[in-house]
Chains A and B, each alone.
Chain A
Amino acid sequence: MFEISLARITWLHRVPAGAKLVVLALVGAAVFLVDDLHILGGFVAAAVLLPLSAWLPLKAVIRQVTPAAILIAAVGGFHLLMDEPRLAAEVSARLGTVILLAVVLTLTTRVSDMVEAIEFGVGPLRVVGVNPAKVGLTLSLAIRFIPVLFDLIGEIREAQKARGLEGNVFAVVMPLLVRTLRMADDLADAISARGYDSD
């Protein structure tokens, strides 16, 4: 399951998407500028308290955080073995803070609001040729199609397993590529048919 935004309204849902994105960007930058473990610990504590303060369902938060937690453990473990415990703690705290905040953002913000905020944010970049509408559409499509692609991979893996090809990576990658390209073609047609105009 890949939940995008929880239907129940909390105080975090009422914070404008743009403000949440700015906070995420600022905190993301700050944690990489700070190397004091006490301050980093404060960031982690704040990131943990945030979903708790809004009574977000822990199950949904944990489900989204778990894959990232494995990555944090791997990166932290690597630094623990290769460097020193302090560096491992710093890296884990930085990644943990940013990932938790990103999870809170996705759980409490509608994609359309996030897209509107990003389109507004990148608006000034029009002067260097960036098209905000295209950026927004790309973002929404990426979020929409992550679960679709997971379903597609599962479907292809099952089909190949039935043919005795479960260990063959190419047997999954090739049909995935073909179906993804076909899907992209259909999607481009569907977007045009619904009056999309990036200009």
Chain B
Amino acid sequence: MIEFDNVTMRYGDLTVLDRLSLSIAERRVAVVGANGSGKSTFARLLNGLIAPTDGTVRIDGLSTTADARAVRRKVGFVFQNPDNQIVYPLVEEDIAFGLKNLKLPKAEIAARVDAVLARYGMEHLRQRSAHLLSGGQKQMLAISSVLVMEPAYVVFDEPTTLLDLRNKRRVAKAIADLPQVAVVISHDLEFLDDFERVLVFEGGRIVCDDVPAKALPFYRDLMAAEPGDDV
């Protein structure tokens, strides 16, 4: 269970999130909103990458501030640009990086790397230099590197933004097939129809919290309106 209790996030005078309170128990939650609406800040709060200015964020009862290390084991995070999150030059080395941080035995690391490479059909890429991969392959590597750590929750920050349609579909299918809870920030609305819940952010607040059939049309109308118009 993800819980936000009266969370405010400020950068200097700028309030990015304003007294946000909600609980998330669904398995598939999408977050949409205009640029600068606060959705990326919301995502970073989930993993404890940033601490709220006021209020508390809890993951299964653990505070993202006080129990940040434990929270990071529970919550995986896939960033928008895979090039900025691949740490090691070779595919299999990068997948193993998070597992080494968990201080797992070498045999278990090798077994988990094999399993995740097989799961996403990337065995043939295991010795490949990461920078020689295509955009879609890099994003699948980034996703594999997070999933291999077996988090209970996975946050995706615009995972399909830099991809072509084929790779967008591949990543969307990978997310749909996950056994974990997935919180997905996305501008690709066509992949969100099967989600259980959609949060629409605007000006640091959630302005709509509903099923896709209702929240997505609301968001489309919101984006079609001129600033200042009532939706």
Would you call A5 an interface residue if the criterion is a C-beta within 8 Å of the partner chain's C-beta atoms? yes
Number of interface residues of B (CB under 8 A): 32
**Partner pick for A4 among B83, B87, B90, CB 8 A cutoff:** B90
The 3 closest A-B pairs by CB, nearest first: A190-B85, A186-B84, A193-B77
Number of residue pairs spanning A and B whose beta carbons lie under 8 angstroms apart? 87
- Residues from chain A with a CB closer than 8 A to the CB of B73 are 195
**Partner pick for A147 among B72, B76, B77, B131, CB 8 A cutoff:** B131
Would you call B146 an interface residue if the criterion is a C-beta within 8 Å of the partner chain's C-beta atoms? yes
Q: A-side binding surface: helix, strand, loop or mixed?
A: helix
**Partner pick for A187 among B72, B85, B97, CB 8 A cutoff:** B85
Closest to A197 in B: B101
**Contact A193 B47, beta carbon cutoff 8 Å:** yes
Give the size category of A's interface with B.
20 to 34
Name A residues whose Cβ lies closer than 8 Å to a Cβ of B.
1-5, 7, 110-112, 137, 140-141, 143-144, 147-148, 151, 183, 186-187, 189-197
A-B contact pairs, 10 of them (CB 8 A): A4-B90, A140-B87, A141-B87, A151-B131, A186-B84, A189-B44, A190-B77, A190-B79, A190-B85, A191-B87
**Contact A195 B101, beta carbon cutoff 8 Å:** yes
Name B residues whose Cβ lies closer than 8 Å to a Cβ of A.
44, 47, 49, 69, 72-73, 76-77, 79, 81, 83-90, 93, 96-98, 101-102, 127, 129-132, 145-146, 149
**Contact A110 B101, beta carbon cutoff 8 Å:** no
Closest to B73 in A: A195
CB distance from B163 to the nearest CB of A (A): 17
